[in-house]
């Protein structure tokens, strides 16, 4: 399955929307998107919109942890938003739900404005 990643940045914040499966084969693409985002815009806050992620294995979780570490080193934060039940369970089982700030949905101040 293909991994789709789209990023919106605004005023030091970025929302990275991910759709598909994050696994051994797609994790390098996600890693390179994080690297590009951090080098290009250098946001203070990154919210990962996982509402479109159907599956995430340990490789994917390691990419998220790596991004979290890189942001923290720069004084920034990485948050996870809208994980589906399968992804939420992985976060809970691994204890990563206490490492990441997890939101039920993308925070209102960062949600795409419509209308």
CA distance 49 to 73: 22
pLDDT tens for each residue of 38-69: 888 788 999 999 999 999 999 999 999 999 99
Per-residue tokens: 51: 């509402």
Tens digit of each residue's pLDDT (9 = 90 or more) over 82-112: 999 999 999 999 999 999 999 999 988 888 6
Strands lying side by side in the sheet with 45-56:
4-10, 13-22, 45-56, 77-81, 101-103
Predicted TM-score (pTM) of this structure: 0.91
């Amino acid at each position: 399955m293909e991994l789709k990643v789209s990023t919106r940045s605004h005023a030091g914040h970025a929302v990275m929307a991910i759709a598909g499966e994050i696994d051994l084969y797609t994790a390098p693409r996600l890693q390179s998107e994080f690297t590009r985002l951090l080098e290009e815009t250098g946001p203070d806050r990154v919210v990962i919109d996982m509402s479109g992620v159907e599956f995430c294995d340990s490789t994917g979780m390691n990419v998220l942890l790596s991004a979290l570490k890189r942001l923290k080193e720069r004084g920034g934060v990485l948050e996870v938003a809208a994980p589906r039940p399968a992804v939420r369970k992985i976060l809970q089982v691994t204890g990563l739900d206490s490492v990441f700030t997890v939101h039920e949905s993308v925070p209102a101040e960062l949600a795409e404005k419509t209308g």
